[in-house]
Amino acid sequence: MAQPVNPADAGRALAEIERRRRQIIAQIDIPAWYWWGLALGWVALGLVTLADMPWLSVAATVGFGVLHAVVAARVMDGRHGSRQLSVRADVVSRHVRSLVIAFLLVLVASTIVIALVAKALGAPQPVLIASVAVALLVLVGGPRLMALVRDRAARSERG
């Protein structure tokens, strides 16, 4: 026969479960080095345009895309925010990859728009200006996107 549960003990146990749940949700992330690498790669692509060799820009863009695809395949799911813990797939939204890809598409479009506006304004090196601006968007927007994913996971776990 089961022993009666003390309400205070049950409350402490539930509070501990909630604390642990919040710890796990806090681990939903993409490593900071990914965002920094993406931003630096974006700036590097802008710097390549200074050589004024279209073939080099194409080669660098393809190389960056391949490298990004290899790296992103491992970290883009949001389950590997740190080396200490890998979050179970059922805790992380299955839409994380789609959100990050949509974010990347917005970054590409932003690069084009900023470069065109900078060129129209007569700014020197409009592509470099655009790449630096978008790199800043990566560094700010990427972590914010993952914060939204964590908030959504916390809400969906509650109810």
| 95 vs 71, more confident | 71
Model confidence pLDDT, tens digit, residues 50-79: 998 999 999 999 999 999 988 887 777 655
What pLDDT was estimated at residue 46? 94
Q: Do residues 91 and 28 make contact, with C-beta atoms less than 8 angstroms apart?
A: yes
Q: Residue 130 and residue 144: Cα distance in Å, rounded?
A: 21
Q: Residue 144 and residue 30: Cα distance in Å, rounded?
A: 11
Single out the residue of 85, 91, 99 nearest to residue 141, CA to CA: 99
| 154 vs 63, more confident | 63
Q: Residue 38 and residue 72: Cα distance in Å, rounded?
A: 10
Q: Residue 81 and residue 15: Cα distance in Å, rounded?
A: 25
Q: What number is the average pLDDT over the span 146-154?
A: 81
